Structure 1
Amino acid sequence: MTIALITGASSGIGTVYARRLAARGHDLVLVARATARLNTLADELRSAHGVTVEVITADLTDAAQTEPVAQRLRADPPIDILVNNAGAGLSGGLANADPVALESLLRLNSLVPTLLTAAVLPGMLQRGHGSIVNIASVLALLPEYSHGIYAATKSYVLTMSQSLHAEVGSRGIYVQAVLPAATRTEIYDRMGGDISKVPDVMEVDDLVDAALIGFDRKELVTIPPVPDAADWTAFEKARMVLAMGFSNAKPAQRYRG
């Protein structure tokens, strides 16, 4: 039996991942702040699928509470799938943002998935297999559509995933970045928003089911709402064309005075 550790498992995307992976026969380690919700979900999954479920209560914005999760990722029995799902948003722009809130968002959305990935990776490499799923956002590609630093944190998650794939993809480690668009989760309520005013919202079950199809296909980047995979291929091709100019030793002609 393989084991999956899911952060932010007490609601939304994390809960659906837990249900889907349990249905596939994976044992689970569920991580979130809401102990009662985690225990209820764990009982449900044990009863429905006969899997083993561990629960770790942790506020991942707190370094001291993150460390036990990292320790579990280093321990036995080994974690075969890490789903870096825990995340948050922050309403408003950067100019008037609370520095404490900014630091908390940066830690949860960017630093925590980095530290947890670093914790699980050595064991995966030693065993020669493992999967790391990072939940990013389409705003990683559209920062103009989001005020503040949320899009920047998700851009980090995307580029970390791409860089990690380049580093360890040939060594048996599968890395997937999932980029949801508007999805019906509690993040809107927590930011003080109203999801009923957001157009074209995807249901969480649909999002995770699509992401798992991408997982089974070993996609590096999965964008569930995009209808044509060729659009992403063209985007990546354009990026590589742009990169051909990076190695010039002299500034481009248009920058020479």
Structure 2
Amino acid sequence: MTAELSPIDKAKFVAARRAADYVQDGMRVGLGTGSTAAWLVRCLGEMVREDGLRFRGVPTSSRTAALAREEGIDVVGLDEARWLDLTIDGADEFDTELNLVKGGGGALLQEKIVAAASDQMVVIADAAKEVAHLGAFPLPVEVVPFGWRTTQALVTETLEAMDVLGREITLRMNGSQPFVTDEGNYILDLHLGRIGNARQLAMVLNQMPGVVENGLFIDICDTVIVGHGDGRIEIRDINAGTVSEDRIDFVEDDNLFRDLGD
């Protein structure tokens, strides 16, 4: 089974498997969106079915909610959960200070709300997601559909004064139509190349009328679990200032590898 997975998928799996150990009985846990987070949901579903783990999951997208229910996880909304013990999610990029770019899957608004409502945020990623400077991955900015072209023009003008390499902006599409988020908004993808001051850019973007939220997660992530294709894991804790290592051996008949949806 595992032999059929690419090294990247193996890296995502081992990071997700290790992160699942953070979830304990009775917790309220934010469940992220994306391919790496999908591995986490499968791991947690296996623990629910086979180990009797009981927790409440708060999904960050309709896709994650559907998968969590399929896996037998007790799914509740954030308003019901109120506050979370932990959120586990993926990232499109992370730097040495554990600042993130997220939103490649289009769920950045719900992801940021859920992460901000958590005592702890753990990010799971493969090693390719680590960068010296954020910005190589396009930065998603969620905007209201009304006047989105005007909002785009405002963002373009603002980028002239920002420390970035590129300033191209594209409207994210779903076929021939604009991509629409779970909250009914559009996404502008900013192709910046390199972001010199991510904190400043995040603040400036969110001050613009028409901008709902941006995909820069600054001072939100506490721990990054980095998976490698050979089963190695690095655990980086920004609060403790520690880096530890672990390893997960692949099990060829693992139920997680059956009927994969991704």
The TM-score normalised by the length of structure 2 is 0.35
User: Which of the pair is proportionally richer in helix?
Assistant: 1
The TM-score normalised by the length of structure 1 is 0.36
User: Which of the pair is proportionally richer in strand?
Assistant: 2
